[in-house]
Structure 1
Amino acid sequence: MDSSEALGMQFGIFTVGDVTTDPTTGTTPTEAERIQATVAIARKAEEVGLDVFATGEHHNPPFVPSSPTTLLGYIAAQTERLILSTSTTLITTNDPVKIAEDFSVLQHLSGGRTDVMLGRGNTGPVYPWFGQDIRQAIPLTVAHYGLLRRLWREEVVDYEGTLRSSLQGFTLAPQPLDGVPPFVWHAAIRTPEVAELAAHFGDGFFANHIFWPPSHTQSMVELYRRRFAHYGHGSPEQAIVGLGGQVFMRRNSQDAVSEFRPYFDNAPVYGHGPSLEDFTSLTPLTVGSPAQVIDRTLGFRDYVGDYQRQLFLVDHAGLPLKTVLEQLDLLGEEVVPVLRKEFAVGRPADVPPAPTHESLLRAHRAAAGDSQPDREEGVKAG
């Protein structure tokens, strides 16, 4: 049993893959430099003992991760235990057949160190680029995910729907590793229908937890937990929850604030808006010392309950690679070890650990009445 499973939680980082000018130097990385930096960041995440690396999916400048499984497959070849995920796979504009194929291949390449986070995306022009209509975003999400589940679970699929062409006698190749599909997280910032979809199928729900106040995250997670229980998957406390987060650290909190301020003030998403002080008071953004990050993060449990996955955003807004790697050193050496220990305190025994391929495989075999022992090779899940 790996450490993340034993303690019930996984810790990691996620990237949006933005190419942003460093406001302190005026330097803008090339797309090639940003992609290579992302690989270096993932390798560093494993080196410092984190469990998960996740990448977003974007199809327009100034972002580079337009092909997440290509990136994750490359990272899989250079890591041994890091769980490789997306922080958004666009269930609306990607074809379910291609999602099923890509992630099955990634499962085999990584030895099962793969899961997927599905989302609608927040860039309107992407829809027509892929022949879809943004007004159909929710129906596309529901229909595409319904088909994706079948593709991963049924040997032969016949499908008829109104939002994509029909399938007749389709068989996915390759099949999911060990017959076990990747674990699915459904990600949302503000869409209750996504929480409902996750609850209906007993999947995980990931709250972005970056741009909105904690009260909003609390309401979304409570909705998901309540509906998870309604559909008979367990108690609300047994629902599988993940949170995003955003931090910038230096050992001295004032150094962190002064260094991060120009990046915050010019960031593409929230730059030239609220002050850094206002944003950190109204949202979970934490800029300060490792101790402050620990205290703030431990406080998340007060309003979402015991949860399974915590991912941090550390590499955006033009921050240079050297600085990002320093952030990872602080996370791995000073923050995550304390979070692992403290989040385990008082964690009820019936709250499930973070899903891994091995835990899903055990459940699959138990459901099939198969007492075959787990594979001894191939999967290292962080």
Structure 2
Amino acid sequence: MQFGIFTVGDVTTDPTTGHTISEHDRIKAMVTIALKAEEVGLDVFATGEHHNPPFVPSSPTTMLGYIAARTERLILSTSTTLITTNDPVKIAEDYAMLQHLADGRVDLMMGRGNTGPVYPWFGQDIRQGIPLAIENYALLHDLWRKDVVDWQGKFRTPLQGFTSTPRPLDGVPPFVWHGSIRSPEIAEQAAYYGDGFFANNIFWPKEHYIRLIGLYRQRYAHYGHGTPEQAIVGLGGQVFMRRNSQDAVNEFRPYFDNAPVYGHGPSLEDFTEQTPLTVGSPQQVIDRTLTFRESFGDYQRQLFLMDHAGLPLKTVLEQLDLLGEEVVPVLRKEFANGRPESVPDAPTHESLRKVSA
């Protein structure tokens, strides 16, 4: 079971002080957070990709390459890579290069993003979002697995005798997760290729994700990759902790109430009841996270969102200390209890290399 954090890289005014961090300081803070993640024993750091304010991570490979040079163990991922508006050729080249620089500590989460204006900025039509995701990933899949590619599709110019360079490290492409919060077509795509499916369950009730993950597991088995229980599932999560639960609620409330995504909407109490957001003590986070297995089955990766809504870096680092020291060790032990031997671990470069040898 892999545990880690993901960031959306928002630049948001701290509602308790009125201070707005600069883009420069936010970028540096994201690096500091990644280094802290490795220090406290987490497995994964993932960054989003955005091309509009108030977000800064427009170039994930640049950031992850820098972090790779300063870490030794941390798996570097995305959350997500925009498969719809990026050229698959450039994705193939950029992430293969990152894979070499990080000695294989790289995987990707493919997604369509949630910002409509991005499509025309990159010459695409949002109404073609699903067809773009399907066609672009089919090309990317080939580019990493075929030394010479001849290809023709609807959304980009044809390729004739094209070789993407560098080739994937050890001939093993980075593992791919397909991220979605709403689209059964993406669950189907992940199942078809035998890739991972990441359900970022931070907004909607669990019943929605039970259906989506259930579809992915069923179709994964249909395509002959294994049993439904052997499908590779990742989940998002969102937490804020203090040792005293009421202190956590009191401290986080102004950030929740003014957050760019859900601020000025439902109450904190309603949101925590209806979604996986957990605000409270480390034990409450442990107890809530353990219920995910009851809903979704045994799964392979759990990522938490912790650095958003204007939270100061000092606070985020304190959260990571609690996560790494008090929460994740217990979760590792409890998730291992009763886990069937037939359920695989999350793929890594090393495990994929052994399979391909």
Alignment TM-score, normalising by the size of structure 2 = 1.00
Aligned-partner residue type, residue 212 of structure 2: M
1:193-247 Cα deviation digits (max 9, x unpaired) = 0000000010000000000001111111000000000111100000000000000
Determine the structure 2 residue equivalent to 1:78.
70
Determine the structure 2 residue equivalent to 1:379.
none
Determine the structure 2 residue equivalent to 1:253.
245
Aligned to 1:110, which of 91, 99, 102? 102
Counterparts of 2:138 and 2:24, CA distance in 1: 36
Aligned-partner residue type, residue 91 of structure 2: I
Counterparts of 2:153 and 2:194, CA distance in 1: 23
Determine the structure 2 residue equivalent to 1:357.
349
Counterparts of 1:169 and 1:225, CA distance in 2: 36
Counterparts of 1:273 and 1:155, CA distance in 2: 51
Deviation at 1:172, TM superposition (A): 1.0
Unaligned runs of 5+ in 2: none
Aligned to 1:64, which of 44, 56, 65? 56
1:166-211 Cα deviation digits (max 9, x unpaired) = 0111101100000000000000000000000000010000000000
Q: Quote the RMSD (CA, aligned, Å).
A: 0.4
Instruction: For residue 179 of structure 2, give the secondary structure of its aligned residue in structure 1.
Output: strand
Determine the structure 2 residue equivalent to 1:193.
185
Aligned to 1:293, which of 285, 289, 293? 285
| 1:322 and 2:317 matched | no
Unaligned runs of 5+ in 1: 1-8, 366-382
Aligned to 2:206, which of 214, 228, 231? 214
Determine the structure 1 residue equivalent to 2:196.
204
Which residues of 2 match residues 69-148 of structure 1 at below 5 A? 69-148=61-140
Counterparts of 2:56 and 2:19, CA distance in 1: 17
Deviation at 1:150, TM superposition (A): 0.4
Aligned-partner residue type, residue 287 of structure 2: D
1:106-138 Cα deviation digits (max 9, x unpaired) = 000000000000001111100000000111111
| 1:302 and 2:299 matched | no
Counterparts of 1:91 and 1:273, CA distance in 2: 30
Counterparts of 1:87 and 1:163, CA distance in 2: 24
Determine the structure 1 residue equivalent to 2:329.
337
Aligned to 1:167, which of 133, 142, 159? 159
Counterparts of 2:276 and 2:208, CA distance in 1: 11
Counterparts of 1:252 and 1:216, CA distance in 2: 31
Counterparts of 2:339 and 2:24, CA distance in 1: 43
1:276-303 Cα deviation digits (max 9, x unpaired) = 0000000000000000000000000001
Counterparts of 2:27 and 2:154, CA distance in 1: 37
Determine the structure 1 residue equivalent to 2:46.
54
Aligned-partner residue type, residue 99 of structure 2: Q
Determine the structure 2 residue equivalent to 1:274.
266
Counterparts of 1:325 and 1:108, CA distance in 2: 29
Deviation at 1:86, TM superposition (A): 0.1
Determine the structure 2 residue equivalent to 1:233.
225
Determine the structure 1 residue equivalent to 2:14.
22
Aligned to 1:39, which of 16, 24, 31? 31
Instruction: For residue 220 of structure 1, give the secondary structure of its aligned residue in structure 2.
Output: helix
Determine the structure 2 residue equivalent to 1:180.
172
Instruction: For residue 287 of structure 2, give the secondary structure of its aligned residue in structure 1.
Output: helix
Percent of pairs with identical residues: 79
Counterparts of 1:196 and 1:264, CA distance in 2: 33
Instruction: For residue 70 of structure 2, give the secondary structure of its aligned residue in structure 1.
Output: coil
Deviation at 1:148, TM superposition (A): 0.1
Instruction: For residue 118 of structure 1, give the secondary structure of its aligned residue in structure 2.
Output: strand
Counterparts of 1:79 and 1:162, CA distance in 2: 40
Alignment TM-score, normalising by the size of structure 1 = 0.93
